[in-house]
Chains A and B, each alone.
Chain A
Amino acid sequence: NAGVTQTPKFQVLKTGQSMTLQCAQDMNHNSMYWYRQDPGMGLRLIYYSASEGTTDKGEVPNGYNVSRLNKREFSLRLESAAPSQTSVYFCASSPRGDNEQFFGPGTRLTVL
């Protein structure tokens, strides 16, 4: 079992560029999540998906879109990157919403 995998590990973008962060889990979990981690801010929820075909906004959704492609995969898209989106992004999955979450290794994104 690979658990939760994320690609890429590192990315540098220029302001205005777009990109998609990929996340996949092989644990047959229903729920998946995207967080961002910033110094002194802890982790903040961007979007989540309770099940295949559904997505909902979290605490900080502005500037992001998501797609729950199938049960395994949940991608995060930045349409027009801004320096304020420089952060470390973590994907997580859970058997159900009230249970332990399993985290991927993170993507470190820098927007210049």
Chain B
Amino acid sequence: GDSVTQMEGPVTLSEEAFLTINCTYTATGYPSLFWYVQYPGEGLQLLLKATKADDKGSNKGFEATYRKETTSFHLEKGSVQVSDSAVYFCAQYSGGGADGLTFGKGTHLIIQP
């Protein structure tokens, strides 16, 4: 079945470091892809999305490019801040109805000053 795999962490970086969180998916067809962020004690918020191959989603300095050839949607940011500390979830929607998103297990990101 459809699945999403992402590095689980925790990932610990220093402030201003470059961030990459890997995400790969398996799906039949061409899913829509999402990155969500969850701050402590809160629900998930959409960070960015891409709906077709080669699309780049971007928001708040984060970027991810939909790579069909490698079935990947890696999240990147050039210079992280302490306020970026959170759990990041990669997700896909594969179609077939309103049956929800398939999520990865989440990556806990810790940014140290």
Interface set of A (CB-CB < 8 Å, partner B): 4, 30-31, 33, 35, 40-45, 48-51, 56, 58, 90, 92, 94, 96-106
Residues of A within 8 A of B53 (CB): none
**Which of A40, A49, A105 interacts with B43 by CB under 8 Å?**
A105
Interface set of B (CB-CB < 8 Å, partner A): 8, 32, 34, 36, 42-46, 49, 89, 93, 95, 97-101, 103-106
B98 touching A105, Cβ below 8 Å? no
> Bound complex: CA of A11 vs CA of B89, how far in Å?
25
Q: How far is the CB of B80 from chain A (nearest CB, A)?
A: 22
A100 touching B99, Cβ below 8 Å? no
> Bound complex: CA of A48 vs CA of B93, how far in Å?
14
**Which of B43, B46, B104, B106 interacts with A90 by CB under 8 Å?**
B43
A41 touching B105, Cβ below 8 Å? yes
A and B contact pairs by CB, cutoff 8 A, 24 listed: A4-B43, A30-B98, A33-B100, A40-B8, A42-B89, A42-B104, A42-B105, A43-B44, A48-B98, A48-B99, A48-B100, A49-B98, A50-B97, A92-B44, A96-B98, A97-B97, A97-B98, A98-B32, A98-B95, A100-B34, A100-B46, A101-B101, A104-B43, A106-B42
